[in-house]
Structure 1
Amino acid sequence: MAYRPTARTEATRIAHRERLLDAARQLLAEGGYAAASISALADRAGVATGSVYNHFASKQELLAAVFRHVAGHELSAVQEAVRARSGAAEQLRALVEVFSYRALSAPRTAWTLLAEPVDPLVEQERLTYRRGYHALAESAVAAGVAAGELPAQNARLSAAAVIGAVGEALLGPLSPVGERADPAPFVEGITTLCLRAVGAGGT
């Protein structure tokens, strides 16, 4: 007879999985992917090392699941902010400002999500969420061009340039942004640059 999990065993399984995911989120925020070894994950979650593989086929699969959760939460926050604004300039401003302030408030997590070298499985997840931000920017630019708010341009190309500029300015090797610096001047500078780049001006 095939084994069928009871409601109790299923609840326990889900609880263990959530503990592992929560432990992984904590370790990523503290030390990035390098800190999230299987033994460290099991120890932080309070489970046996071998039990990790009862929930995830590999460490990479676990980290990809964590990436989906954390990156999805960040993307949702930016999407909500963008959708609360009207007009291309205000939507782009919301995108850049919310993304930047959230990244600067948790620099280690931002580095983990955006730039830290990762396994190909996690890199696939990263690309999925980069496309989400790109879609937001492209939609705003295209709508602005259609409404006459922005000059004619390739919305897809402009969106890629905006997203790339934000990431490079915040986390690139030449970024002047420091963890202890007041983020406001940096965020305003990045925002102004992006708005001017698409022809929206900016103050």
Structure 2
Amino acid sequence: MEIPHSLPRVRIRRRGADKHPLILKAARDLVAESGFREAQMSLIAEAAGIAIGTLYRYFPSKTELLVELVKTTAQREVDVVAGIAMRDGTALERLGAAAWTFASRALRGRRLAYALVAEPVEPDVEAARLTYHRALARVFKTIIEQGMAIGEFPAQDAAASADCIVGCLFEGLVAPLTNNAAADAAQTDAHGSAIITFCLRGVSGSQAPAFSIPTL
């Protein structure tokens, strides 16, 4: 049997550095500055320092890029809130602290937070935001279930209560998120505290004390 002298040489195309994180950062920065609508693909490519053709190789459409942006940014926020929820303390204390963590981070990054919860978007982006809603609700649901298990909270539909908390936060913060005046910080904090107080009283089934902003 004749043995070939050598196998055909396969040319390996070397890829450059992965631009994916760079693109997402550029997109997030633009959305944080001016919202989804103004974050055009050409501006994102320019901010990332890449050619527009390179951007489209990673993300064939703006919608796909925004869906990925919502997913990654939302997961980061959920992870932070979940970390607070796992701390020591009563269920009421942890629920309040977790809700305030979400609210305070949203108020520090108002434009980006508004885009993540309220800005009019394409259906695919809205679907990604709904996933964010559900993931955040699961964190609150876990705390509520723990409170019920030890008799701190009355029996209730924990999933429904958690959804109500997320809904209160999302809807209740829309007005403050659209107001960028730094002078309103104290009033905004008071507004956020009132929302959380309402949620805690609803879950605990009692006249829980007014929520005090914790030192996180």
1:32-181 alignment runs, 5 A limit: 32-171=35-174, 178-179=179-180, 180=182, 181=184
Name the TM-score, length of structure 2 as normaliser. Answer: 0.82
Matched AA of 2:13 = P
Residue 2 of structure 1 and its aligned partner are, at CA, apart by 6.9
Higher radius of gyration, 1 or 2: 2
Q: Would you say the 8 A contact 1:20–1:41 is kept in 2? A: yes
Give the direction of change, closer, same or farther, for the CA distance of 1:85–1:2 in structure 2 (3 Å limit): farther
1:10-49 alignment runs, 5 A limit: 11-12=16-17, 14=18, 16-49=19-52
**3-state SS in 1 of match to 2:173:** helix
Deviates more, 1:147-156 or 1:175-184: 175-184
Greater helix proportion: 1
Q: Find out whether 1:202 has 2:205 as its counterpart.
A: no
Residue 79 of structure 1 and its aligned partner are, at CA, apart by 0.8
Indicate the percent of aligned positions where both proteins have the same amino acid: 34
Q: Would you say the 8 A contact 2:91–2:152 is kept in 1? A: yes
Residue 35 of structure 1 and its aligned partner are, at CA, apart by 1.4
Q: Would you say the 8 A contact 2:117–2:170 is kept in 1? A: yes
Any stretches of 5+ residues in structure 1 without a counterpart?
A: none
In 2, Cα distance between equivalents of 1:107 and 1:100: 10
Q: Would you say the 8 A contact 1:85–1:94 is kept in 2? A: no
Give the direction of change, closer, same or farther, for the CA distance of 1:70–1:48 in structure 2 (3 Å limit): same
Matched AA of 1:61 = E
Give the direction of change, closer, same or farther, for the CA distance of 1:176–1:63 in structure 2 (3 Å limit): closer
Name the TM-score, length of structure 1 as normaliser. Answer: 0.87
Moved over 6 A (4+): none
